Amino acid sequence: MSVLFSPLTMRGMTVRNRLWVAPMCMYSVFDKDGIPGDWHLTHLGALATGGAGLILTEATAVNAEGRITDHDTGLWNDAQQEEWERIVGFVHSQGAAIGIQLAHAGRKASTYPAWGTEKTGTVPVSDGGWDTVGPSPVAFGRYSPPQELDAAGIRTVIDDFVQAAVRSVAAGFDVLEIHAAHGYLLHQFLSPLSNIRTDEFGGDLANRARLLLEIVRQTRAAIGEEVPLLVRFSATDYADGGVTPEEIATVSGWVHAAGADLVDVSSGGNISGVTIPLSPGYQVEFAELVRRTADVPTSAVGLLTTAQQAEAVITSGAADAVMMGREFLRDPHFALRAAHVLGVDLPYWPGQYERARWQNAS
């Protein structure tokens, strides 16, 4: 029996396998109102029929100013919640679990989408953009510098994360993930390269993690004890003076104690122009370090493209689950194919696709 296709239980829910879909931005809210639409239903629905265990949505902003682009999804009002309910319902009808990644882009907000335009960087207010915020007035590369969040602004960010979490549960999401990676707001607070504050939210690691920990604690209190809560980290900034894997392992232990159930370990995104040593599975070692030193369940991600790679990550003990992104874009039914490759006869093969089942699976 493949370990990759064994179930994983977190709190009050069980995911049918350990091959999960990583959050991937679609930049497809063309009305610029944060409301997911038919594209999101079709995209996420196909992944559900394709056999994935847990599907995480794209980074979904907890308020309007927290969007990476004006084409991002959000969850700060009733209309957005209602459309997410429709999508969640279909994913559930296919037997998959679905989680939402709650995010605030901080200094990397108000940018042009990654496709559909030749423009890049910060969208000026005169072109429909907005002023960005961050822990300190330190710009990301050539982006516009953010306004430093004051105490009232920090309280608003915490409240917006908590309220979005409450809406997520009301919409039926099985899992919530707090996005503290890839150079977005909570990562900006964690890194001394983007956080040069001298108050209780800056300085040593405990202070830099204070905002994230408060969001985790208040989110856990607001959503109760049954809903699994994940946190996504970047384990390194790939730059001198930035966050290190050892620091992220320490913070992982703290968020686990505060109510998080699993840490989703990625890397990079906070410093422009750095060299990232890309190779198949290049981030797995970070997930393994966190799992081993902090004794926290982890998921691994990063150029994992084959069933054999994913199986090896789990059997080696490096992580408890595997996240894939681009491979699921290439083949939304990759989980069905992976099960065949590993000799697993899935009991949840879609009936509509029965004629396409590989006959030698056993």
Catalytic residues: 184
DSSP annotation of 37 reads: -
Torsion of CA 310, 312, 313, 314, to 10 degrees: 90
Rg of the chain in Å (alpha carbons): 19
58 neighbors 101 (Cβ within 8 angstroms):
yes
Token digits of residue 136: 């300190």
Provide the residue type at 188 as one letter: Q
Q: Which residues pair with 56 in a beta bridge?
A: 99
CB atoms < 10 A from the CB of 189, how many?
A: 26
Torsion of the alpha carbons at 180, 103, 239 and 275, rounded to the nearest 10: 120
CB atoms within 10 A of CB 254: 19
| Local structure of residue 114 (DSSP, 8 states) | S
Tokens at 129, concatenated: 């953009």
Two tokens, residue 38:
């038919």
Question: Dihedral through CA 59, CA 157, CA 74, CA 322, nearest 10?
Answer: 20
Residues facing residue 54 across a β-bridge: 97
User: What's the sign of the alpha-carbon dihedral 236, 241, 246, 251?
Assistant: negative
Q: Judge contact between 69 and 27, C-beta under 8 A.
A: yes
CB 333 within 8 A of CB 50: yes
Contact by Cβ (8 Å): 230, 255: no
Tokens of 320: 């408890």
